[in-house]
Amino acid sequence: MFLCKADKVLKEIEEKLEKADIEIAAPALTVKWVPDESEIQKCFEFGKKIAKKVKKS
């Protein structure tokens, strides 16, 4: 699977946060420049996950 530079950077940031014992609310989400309906739905669900984590804290 091909990962663009931004994907690699996101993975590196997540790894550093985990090593520092910082909780990640949800794994990083990447989409195309022009998202299709499926990706828009993923973004919506991603936002809901983040909102639930924020409400709990």
Taking only the tens place, the pLDDT of each residue in 7-17 is 788 889 989 99
**Helix, strand and coil percent figures for the chain, each rounded to 5:** 60, 0, 40
d(CA 17, CA 40) in angstroms, rounded, equals 26
pLDDT of residue 37: 92
pLDDT of residue 2: 46
Domain that holds residue 27: 5-56
Give the tokens for residue 42.
């993923």
Q: What is the residue-level pLDDT of the chain in tens, covering all 57 positions? A: 444 677 788 889 989 999 999 988 888 887 777 888 998 998 999 899 889 988 887
Q: Are 28 and 11 in contact (CB under 8 A)?
A: yes
pLDDT of residue 4: 62
pLDDT of residue 10: 84
Q: How many domains is the chain partitioned into structurally? A: 1
d(CA 32, CA 48) in angstroms, rounded, equals 20
